[in-house]
Amino acid sequence: MQGTPEYGGLTGFEPISDVTRKEFLEQGWLLIPNALTESHRQQLEAAVDRVYAEEIAAGKGTKDGTVHLLGFLTRDELFANLLTHPTTFPYVWGLTGWNIYTHHNHLDVTPPALEPEKPYWGWHQDGYRQNSDPETMDPSVPRPMFAVKVGYVLSDLSETGRGATKIIPGSHLRNSLGRPADLTVHNPDPPGTLEITAKPGDAFIFDRRQWHSRSTNLSDTTRKMLFVGYTYRWIRPLDDMPIDFDSQWWANRSPLQRQLLGAGTHTANYWGINWDGYIDDQIPLRKELNDRDLLDRSVPWLR
């Protein structure tokens, strides 16, 4: 993969430090300041505005104009290139390894709320049945991570009250979260809650186990976000994202991006056709990491 001039020649294969990895493993999230140049952010925002207008015209917004669009990557060339974005991709492979793809991605536009929020309790972990199917009978043993998600901030979320994501740092290591008995009244957020404030162009990455919740947009600023989730190739996708394999959009994808979009003849362990041996090194991301001498046996998911 060639370096990106707009991003100072970064390739997306600059390894994260052990200190950064340790912080993520302990806190369950990381802020990535200035993940987008201002020019790139503006282009992405224009693409989001176009897709948003299309969704609203198709009657797919809520009464206050909120759009939560799953599987958005095929809607623009710019969106697809976020899969391997040079400032964020090192965190993805550095924290999950090489046997991955995107199973879940969404575009969010949240205008200012039309009326005060009714009482609700939105705290959850991502993953649905991943939180109950694995054998973790001992509540002191955290469930497997399985997935991470990168959020790109396109609008100004530098102040609270603008609909930003709320998290509880470190809560990814807890399998349960106390739930109020009465949900018909407003309840305070759990202790340790942090609303992620960020500037336009910032990004953040979080462990899917991180307890998090949406918040109400009480401002006069429309919140615009793009989220790209990554999981292991042996886990089924969450989103319906039909791909036209005869399209120019697909023709423009690199082998690595095709892996991240679910291409490959087998999801368990190799990039081949028959059960005639292990050829992991042909999986595009592993091959790229191997060629760059970035496979690290001290990190289990990078072996």
pLDDT in tens, 112-168: 999 888 898 999 999 988 888 887 678 788 999 999 999 999 999 999 999 999 999
Rounded to whole angstroms, the Cα distance separating 103 from 41 reads 24
Quote the CATH superfamily of domain 5-302: q2cbj1_9rhob like domain (2.60.120.620)
Residue 274 is predicted with a pLDDT of 54
- pLDDT confidence of residue 257: 97
The SS3 of residue 157 is: strand
Residue 279 above 90 pLDDT?
no
Q: What percent of the chain has pLDDT over 70?
A: 94
Which element (helix H / strand E) includes 203? strand 203-207
Which pLDDT score is estimated for 133? 87
Which pLDDT value is given to residue 115?
Answer: 87
User: How large a percentage of the chain has pLDDT more than 90?
Assistant: 84
Instruction: List the domain boundaries for the chain.
Output: 5-302
Which residue would you say has higher pLDDT here, 128 or 9? Answer: 9
Q: What is the mean pLDDT of residues 199-220?
A: 97
- In this prediction the pTM is 0.95
Name the nearest CA neighbour of 94 among 26, 12, 5, 171.
12
